């Protein structure tokens, strides 16, 4: 931001604080507004993005005591605190404003906008006077304006660094396995630029990842922006996901559920594990295998195997006779009695 913008921008109004606000109030207002207008919270909102930049500029100046003092002085001149009137009998001109900076003793300092050899030759430059007011001086600012490339505010100490690159939005689709285990992907931007980056293990469907320094180029010498990547994860034919846990439906036979058994359960890495099905296990019971889920920041999740009892579709004569014997033993037992009682309560 060029220092001349200080004449037009009211940083106190931007932050919503009074001109006598202390540093704690300025910091509090900045944090509140920065969270409210942050681009991550307002994707695609250009007004919010500009507001976020304005808030950052205001905080950068007002949080620095020296820059704040300079800013207050400039704003005072811009709003009538100092008199800039045409000279004349009894009228105060520029020389009245800056007389105190002319060497003491009430000496008046006169100056003009004339160039070398003109009407103002040999008189102080306005640029150098402004620099002296705010602790600079001709030696600190590098001499007259012509030698400084025409910037009359070079001694004010305003932030003038190169602008960083803008953030870039992108999307990618991963297989279920790559999302769980992590993957390296190559993306192509709208400008045709190819970006190769690593997706961390455990990313979820719809998750947004900020990849530092993978965004647009900034001004020379400034850092790149970030790449905001939204990830879509494909479905898996066997496994599902519940946080850091993997889920799987585990079919068991009627006999295994009734009598109990030890059965194999598949895992995502292809190595089966053995789990025990207790006698009398019903459909819907979940068997937990520790540590065979998604690797997370605080360790791996679990594999949750949900039992599904498979009812035989075709029975042999012997099988039918065995089931009929079981049916006779359970005569008088109504498994739906509790259901009806709850339905009428």
Determine the pLDDT at residue 230: 92
Q: What is the pLDDT along the chain (345 residues), one digit of tens a residue?
A: 445 566 678 889 999 999 889 999 999 999 899 888 888 788 878 888 888 888 888 898 899 898 888 888 877 766 554 444 444 444 444 444 444 444 444 444 344 444 444 444 444 444 554 555 544 444 444 444 444 444 444 444 445 568 898 888 888 899 999 999 999 988 877 677 788 888 888 999 999 989 888 888 888 888 989 988 899 999 999 999 999 999 999 999 999 999 999 999 999 988 999 999 999 999 999 999 999 999 877 788 999 999 999 998 888 999 899 888 988 888 888 888 888 888 887
Q: Which two tokens stand for residue 196?
A: 């190769």
Residue 208 confidence (pLDDT): 92
Is residue 161 within 8 A of residue 222, CB to CB? The reply is yes
Residue ranges of domains in the chain, CATH in brackets: 3-78 (1.10.287.110), 94-148 (no CATH), 168-233 (2.60.260.20), 246-329 (2.60.260.20)
Which pLDDT score, from 0 to 100, does residue 192 have?
Answer: 76
Q: In sequence order, what are the residues at sequence separation of 6 or more whose Cβ sits closer than 8 angstroms to the Cβ of residue 155?
A: 127, 130, 131, 134, 136, 137, 140, 141
Residues 6+ apart with CB under 8 A from 188: 194, 195
Q: Where are the alpha helices (DSSP H) in the chain?
A: 11-15, 23-37, 46-62, 65-78, 94-98, 126-133, 138-141, 176-181, 254-259, 317-329, 337-343
User: CA–CA separation, 155 vs 113, rounded Å?
Assistant: 18
């Amino acid at each position: 931001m060029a220092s001349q913008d200080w004449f037009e921008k009211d940083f106190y109004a931007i932050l919503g604080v009074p001109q006598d606000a202390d540093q704690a109030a300025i910091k509090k207002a900045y944090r509140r507004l920065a969270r409210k207008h942050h681009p991550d919270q307002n994707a695609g909102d250009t007004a919010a993005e500009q507001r976020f930049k304005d808030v950052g500029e205001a905080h950068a100046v007002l949080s620095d005591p020296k820059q704040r003092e300079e800013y207050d002085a400039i704003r005072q001149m811009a709003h009538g605190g100092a008199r800039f009137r045409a000279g004349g009998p009894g009228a105060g001109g520029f020389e009245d404003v800056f007389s105190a900076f002319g060497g003491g003793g009430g000496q008046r300092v006169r100056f003009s906008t004339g160039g070398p050899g003109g009407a103002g030759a040999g008189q102080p430059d306005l640029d150098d006077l402004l620099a002296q007011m705010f602790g600079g001086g001709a030696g600190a600012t590098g001499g007259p304006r012509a030698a400084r490339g025409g910037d009359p505010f070079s001694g004010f100490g305003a932030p003038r660094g190169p602008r960083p690159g803008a953030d870039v939005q992108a999307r990618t689709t991963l297989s279920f396995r790559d999302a769980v285990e992590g993957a390296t992907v190559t993306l192509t931007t709208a400008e045709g630029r190819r970006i190769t980056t690593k997706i961390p293990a455990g990313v979820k469907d719809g998750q947004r990842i900020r990849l530092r320094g993978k965004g647009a180029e900034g001004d020379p010498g400034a850092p790149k922006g970030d790449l905001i990547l939204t990830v879509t994860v494909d479905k898996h034919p066997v496994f599902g996901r519940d946080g850091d846990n993997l889920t799987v439906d585990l079919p068991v036979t009627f006999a295994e559920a009734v009598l109990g058994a030890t059965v194999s359960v598949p895992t995502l890495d292809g190595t089966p594990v053995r789990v025990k099905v207790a006698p009398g296990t019903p459909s819907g019971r979940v068997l937990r295998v520790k540590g065979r889920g998604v690797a997370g920041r605080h360790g791996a999740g679990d594999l949750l195997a949900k039992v599904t009892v498979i009812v035989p579709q075709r029975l042999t004569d012997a099988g039918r006779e065995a089931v009929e014997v079981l049916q006779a033993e359970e005569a008088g037992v109504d498994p739906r009695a509790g259901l009806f009682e709850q339905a009428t309560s």
